[in-house]
Amino acid sequence: MATILLAPTDRDVVLGDLEETGVIGWSALGSVLGLVMRQQMELWRAWQPWVASSMAFAGSLLLLGVSFGLSVNSRHLLRGERGYGSVLCEALLMLSWAWTSGFVVGSLSGKTRWVSGILCAIPCLSCVLRFHDTSLSRLCVLLFLLPAVIGAVQGVRRARLSHRTALTLAIAMTALMLVWGGRYMWNWFLFLPAWWLVAHAERSEPSNKKVAG
């Protein structure tokens, strides 16, 4: 069961070695877990897992507040106390913030994505358990979670966006914030993933053109 933590190719090799050497019981378990720990420690020697984990934790904290604010404003909209424009802008910002954050976390995490997932889940679970506003559902703080997960899955598959797509998305998000403003005007941390995608796409283009040439 412990070999499930290993890659399929490593799993077959380890199981074969254990069978040949005749190691069983706690000794076999210790050998497998030791290998898993060494592999994980090797992954964390790079900077990408650290950035992805930090962004997963900090981004989820901020997006929890954004989701709650959007839920409150949506309730005010239904009561006629808010306009459609401001709530729509807020919803678009939340979706874009969540998606780009998830995309960057997914593209940087690699084999440490399970750590990023745990660091995202901890503040979410804590917020849901401590939620006391009886006029809203506890799940209102998790509105960002679905677009963030979709972005993370796409980040794992694609790793980068085209330069045009990343730049268009980043400019649109920034312009929307500048035009709308609102109480999230200070929340510029959530724009970092979008502009990181732009910078990443710019660095990847010369090498792609050189290979193509």
Could you read off the pLDDT tens digit of each residue along the chain, which spans 213 residues?
A: 666 656 666 666 666 666 667 666 667 666 666 767 777 778 788 899 999 999 999 999 999 999 998 998 888 888 877 778 888 888 999 999 999 999 999 999 988 888 899 999 999 999 999 998 888 899 999 999 999 999 999 999 887 888 888 999 999 988 888 777 656 656 778 889 999 999 888 554 444 444 444
**Based on the domain organization, do 13 and 99 belong to the same domain?**
no
Beta strands in 25-144, from DSSP E residues, in sequence order: none
**Based on the domain organization, do 90 and 120 belong to the same domain?**
yes
Token reading at 114: 């399970």
Burial of 87 (0-12, 13-18, 19+ CB in 10 A): middle
Domain of residue 23 covers 7-43
**Based on the domain organization, do 35 and 96 belong to the same domain?**
no
- Which are the contacts of 34, defined by CB distance < 8 A and separation ≥ 6? none
Give first-to-last CA distance, the chain, whole Å: 48
**Based on the domain organization, do 82 and 152 belong to the same domain?**
yes
Confidence (pTM): 0.78
Residue 209 lies in a domain: no
